[in-house]
Amino acid sequence: MGDGAAEKVRPRDRILGTARDLFHKHGIRGVGIDAITEAAGTNKMTLYRHFDSKDDLIIECLRTVACDANAIWNQFEAEHPNDKLGQLQAWVRTVADGLKVDGRGCDMANAAVELTEDDHPARQVIKELKTAQRDRLVGLCRDAGIEQAELLADTLSLLLEGARVSRQSVGAEGPSAQFVRMAEGVIASFRNTARA
Q: What residue ranges bind a copy of itself (CB under 8 A)?
A: 25-27, 29-30, 104-105, 108-110, 112-114, 116, 126-127, 130-131, 134, 151, 153-155, 157-166, 168-171, 174-176, 178-179, 181-182, 185-186, 189
Instruction: Pick what 55 binds: DNA, a copy of itself, none; C-beta below 5 to 8 Å, kind-dependent.
Output: DNA
Closest listed residue to residue 21, CA positions, set 68, 53, 91 = 68
Q: How many CA atoms lie within 13 A of 30 on its CB side?
A: 11
Measure the N-to-C terminal CA separation of the chain; round to a whole number of Å.
Answer: 63
Residues that bind DNA (CB under 7 A): 10-12, 31-35, 41-46, 48-50, 53-55
159 binds, among a copy of itself, DNA, none (CB under 5 to 8 A by kind): a copy of itself
Burial 53-64 (b: 16+ CB within 10 A, else e): ebeebbbbbbee
- Residue pair 18/39 in contact (Cβ under 8 Å)? The answer is yes
Instruction: Choose the one of DNA, a copy of itself, none that binds residue 172, judging by a C-beta under 5 to 8 angstroms depending on kind.
Output: none
> In the complex, what is the shortest distance from the CB of residue 47 to a copy of itself, in angstroms, rounded to a whole number?
22
CB of 170 to a copy of itself, least distance (A): 5
Q: Is 28 helix (H, G, I), strand (E, B) or coil?
A: coil
Residue 162 contact, options DNA, a copy of itself, none, Cβ 5-8 Å cut-off depending on partner type: a copy of itself
Residue 42 identity: T
